[in-house]
Amino acid sequence: MTTVRELAEIWAELLGMDPGAIDEDASFLRLGGDSVLAVRMSALVRRRLSVELALSDVTVEITLSGLADLVARRGRDGAAARALPVDIEHRADPDAPFPLMPLQQGYFVGQHDGWELSYDSAHFYADMALTGVDAEEAEETLTDALHRLALHQPTLRARITPDGMQYVLPPDAPGAIPRPRVLDLRAADDTDVRAALEAVRAEMATTGPNPLTGPGLDVRLSLLPGGRGRLHTAMSLISMDGWSATVLNRELLTLAADWNAVLAPLEVDFGDYVTSVGRLRRTELWAADRDWWWERLDDAPSPPALPLRTDPRDVAPTLMDTREARLDAARWTALREQCAAHEVTPSAAMLTAFAVVLARWAGHRRMLLNTLQLNRLPLHPDIHRTIGAFASTMLVPVALGTGRTFAELAAAQQRTFGEHAAHNLVSGVEVSRELARRRGTTRPVAPVVFQSTLGMDAAIGERQARSAGPLGTLDFDDFYHQLRTPQVALEARFWEMGEEMAVAFSLVAELFEPREVDAAFGGLVALIETLADGAGWEREIDLPAASEPDGTGGGSVLSGGGPARGDAVRGGGDETAGPPRDELEQRIALLWEEILDVPVLDRATPFFTLGGDSLLAVRALARLAKDVGVAVRVRRFLDAPTVAGLAAAVREQGFGG
């Protein structure tokens, strides 16, 4: 079989096409591909053709003939042209602890109240209506399916240690297997049913599963009159990402639909992936990506200067507010076709639309956005079927030009996004830490987030089945969800729900005027509608004249336009430079030296300047609490992250008094 024929079959598998219908000059993008599918394509090429491709090589614009030429060159170059300089390896001890990924670390610190806009649990909650439920069989079916799934997917048995490591419990360990809870409301009247469901929803949305103390997954089933029901799931973001949530739902319902169903074995697990990716940090390729990012940080823009009602530091949210809309199946199909015709991915188009709305809201055209990436490096073909917290973030600058059509803006943004995504071995969390260090702040540097999982269903494979055996049939039109992510003021999310596209704002309501949020979300939906119709692509986009924020008004906190409360030391202690002054400061300095492996000679040198990060800060505070018997909150430490400041915080708790 020729290389072109083999590649055509891979494309056909990913795109749901007949291999013979794929023209060699057609681009992956024009045929319906996107960046998510491109990553999976790399994994399939690696497995079937024994050729590794660089992530920067496999762009969505590549043609079949271009890919065949690239595979031929890489095949001739052999090992000298390795795309990723690591192979995935099985851990010698599957039960041994392994590190948290960077984004997991951020969520972990957030659960310790380490950031402004923090929550005691970072998690995603959803519930969906069921019809035709067999109430006599449903509980046993769900329990059995969840048990078998936890045997198949080790991450469902994962736990987090107090110092920020993760490990997997053996299946027979007490409490290792998540167990569902069932609420029987079949005999209740409508009023009692509504009250009971609201109570379950409020509890699960505000008190998420905590892998520090138990499973990172909470599954419940409400049995309702008339053969109806609701399936409730809450997933810890420390344990699972959005891709994993989709895998979990599909596999759980597959097992529920058929007692005899057997899932294809997994040759790797999340721990194998994490330890293998960890070795990337010792490679020249990782260092090159780091240098690429570091060279651009001094010119990085600020986040959008959205008007705020209050300083985020003064807010203690319990839930994120939500605005949501759907694009029906016909219009979603039309939007995809329009994107392909203009040679941009749906995700790039939605990122551009969100940026346009933000520019109009903030009054400036240049801004820094945080994007959530389904960043599963193609180290093994089973990675896309594995549950774990693979996701990463990536900072993306936006610079919208005036006098441009939407098609021109989207094409430019796709090029920018692709350029940055080609250097994704260094995570956005690590880049954000360095940017915060350079800007001298402990506040979030990119609190406005874009997330798109459009194309994920195709990348995973088969679409979500609607029938789940005794659990009944899923009703995608009756779906509720809540998101809680630390450090995020506003997040725009785009995903597929059945045959439709869903778009939502998740935001901290206390920060924004509701009318402004409604106007921005309405403007986004209206813009998307014009793109689906086709009329919006060639229309010149009306944008503010200002490129940068003016640094005034309530938006200065989000825009980073000047020091905000919390950027300077607020501890009230003497921050004069010099060596540690007393026994307590000396104990703190010695502890930092042990954790950071550097000399700590100046009581006024910030922890983060010495090489510390948020996870190490949590560990240092835990060690200090054990040593001196005083617990200092992470956020209080961030107010004055120096030896002198921490000593002052300890004394505030009564130490030595």
At residue 621, the 3 state secondary structure works out as helix
Classify burial at 247, counting beta carbons within 10 Å of its beta carbon; exposed 0-12, middle 13-18, buried 19 or more: buried
Residues 196-212 have pLDDT tens digits of: 999 999 999 999 899 99
- Residue 114's region, left for phi above 0, alpha for psi from -120 to 50, else beta, is alpha
Residue 462 confidence (pLDDT): 63
Residue pair 40/459 in contact (Cβ under 8 Å)? The answer is yes
Q: Beta strand pairing status for 228-236 and 123-131?
A: antiparallel
pLDDT band for position 441 (cuts 50, 70, 90): confident
pLDDT of residue 78: 47
Q: Is 298 exposed, middle or buried (0-12, 13-18, 19+ CB in 10 A)?
A: exposed
Count of beta carbons in the 10 Å neighbourhood of residue 657: 6
CB-CB contact of 652 with 640 (8 Å): no
What's the DSSP call for residue 463? Answer: P
Which helix (DSSP H) or strand (DSSP E) does residue 297 occupy?
helix 284-297
| Interatomic CA distance for residues 84 and 284, integer angstroms | 10
Q: Which helix (H) or strand (E) holds 484?
A: strand 473-484
Task: Give 469-506 pLDDT, tens digit per residue.
Answer: 999 999 988 999 898 998 899 999 999 888 899 999 99
Distance from C-alpha of 301 to C-alpha of 559, rounded to nearest angstrom = 9
- For 229-242, the pLDDT digits (tens) are 999 999 999 999 98
Mean pLDDT for the stretch of residues 323-349 = 93
Residues of the chain with pLDDT > 90, as a percent, come to: 55
Question: What digits encode the pLDDT tens for the residues 302-331?
Answer: 999 999 999 998 888 888 999 999 999 999
Query: Of the ranges 66-75, 259-268, 618-627, which one carries the lowest mean pLDDT score?
Result: 66-75
* 135-183 pLDDT, tens digit each: 999 999 999 999 999 999 999 999 999 889 999 999 999 999 999 999 9
- Quick one: tokens of 329? 């199946």
Which strands, in side-by-side order, build the sheet including 98-99? Answer: 98-99, 165-168, 158-160
Which one of 67-81, 299-313, 366-380 scores highest in mean pLDDT? 299-313
The pLDDT of residue 83? 58
User: What are the pLDDT digits (tens) for 269-297?
Assistant: 999 999 999 998 889 889 999 999 999 99
- Which residue, 371, 445, 365, 441, is CA-closest to 400? 365
pTM across the whole model? 0.84
3-state secondary structure 167-228: EECCCCCCCCCCCCEEEECCCCCHHHHHHHHHHHHHHHHHCCCCCCCCCCEEEEEEEEHHHE
Hunting for tokens 């195709």 — which residue is that?
A: 458
Which residue(s) pair with 325 in the sheet?
A: 503
Q: How many CB atoms lie within 10 A of CB 564?
A: 18
Q: 335 near 531, Cβ under 8 Å?
A: yes
Q: What is 32-46 written as a DSSP string?
A: T--HHHHHHHHHHHH
Q: Give the DSSP H/E element, type plus range, for residue 493.
A: strand 490-497
Higher pLDDT, 552 or 10: 10
Give the torsion through C-alpha atoms of 197, 198, 199, 200, to 10 deg.
50
Question: What's CA 259's distance to the chain center, in Å?
Answer: 33
| Cβ neighbours of 144 (radius 10 Å) | 13
Cβ contact 585:644 at 8 Å: yes
pLDDT at 353 exceeding the cut of 90: yes
Q: Which residue has the higher pLDDT, 37 or 314?
A: 314
Q: How far apart are CA 541 and CA 547, in angstroms?
A: 15
73-76 long-range contacts, CB within 8 A, separation 24+? 75/49, 75/50, 75/51
Query: What digits encode the pLDDT tens for the residues 555-589?
Result: 445 644 333 333 444 445 677 888 888 889 899 99
pLDDT in tens, 529-557: 999 999 999 999 999 999 998 765 444 45
Q: What is the pLDDT of residues 40-65, one digit of tens each?
A: 777 778 777 777 666 566 677 788 88
What's the token pair of residue 569? Answer: 């030391």
CB neighbours of residue 615 within 10 Å? 21
Task: Say whether pLDDT at 365 is over 90.
Answer: yes
One-letter identity of residue 5: R
DSSP assignment of 350-369: HHHHHHHHHHHHHT-SEEEE
- What are 520's two structure tokens? 């921005």
Chain center to CA of 41: 22
- Kindly state the average pLDDT of the residues 340-346: 90
User: SS3 for 78-119, per residue?
Assistant: HHHHCCCCCCCCCCCCCCCCEECCHHHHHHHHHHCCCCCCCC
pLDDT digits (tens, 9 = 90+) for 391-414: 999 999 999 999 999 999 999 999
How high is the pLDDT of residue 75?
A: 62
Q: How confident is the model at residue 110 (pLDDT cuts 50, 70, 90)?
A: confident
pLDDT band at 299 (very low <50, low <70, confident <90, very high): very high
Starting at the edge strand that comes first in sequence, how are the strands of the sheet with 448-452 ordered? Answer: 321-327, 500-507, 490-497, 448-452, 366-373, 392-399
When the pLDDT of each residue in the chain is averaged and rounded to a whole number, the result is 88
pLDDT band at 642 (very low <50, low <70, confident <90, very high): very high
Band (118; pLDDT cuts 50, 70, 90): confident
217-224 and 181-184 beta bridge pairing: parallel
3-state secondary structure of 652: helix
Structure tokens at 556: 């200065």
The distance of Cα 153 from the centroid of its chain, to the nearest Å, equals: 20
Contact 602, 579 (CB under 8 A): yes
**Closest Cα to residue 98, out of 176, 166, 33?**
166
Q: For helices 102-111 and 428-439, give the axis angle rounded to 10 degrees.
A: 60
Cβ atoms of 74 and 406 within 8 Å: the answer is no
User: What's the Cα-to-Cα distance from 589 to each of 49, 585, 629, rounded to whole Å?
Assistant: 54, 6, 17
Q: How far is residue 520's CA from residue 505's CA, in Å, rounded to a whole number?
A: 10
pLDDT at residue 56 in the model: 60
Instruction: Give which of 224, 223, 245 is closest to 233, Cα–Cα.
Output: 245
On the 0-12 / 13-18 / 19+ scale of CB atoms within 10 A, 255 is buried
Q: How far apart are CA 278 and CA 301, in angstroms?
A: 30
The string of DSSP codes covering 403-449 is T-BHHHHHHHHHHHHHHHHTTTTS-HHHHHHHHHHHHT--S-S--EE
- The pLDDT of residue 554 is 41
- Shortest CA distance to 413 belongs to which of 335, 505, 345? 345
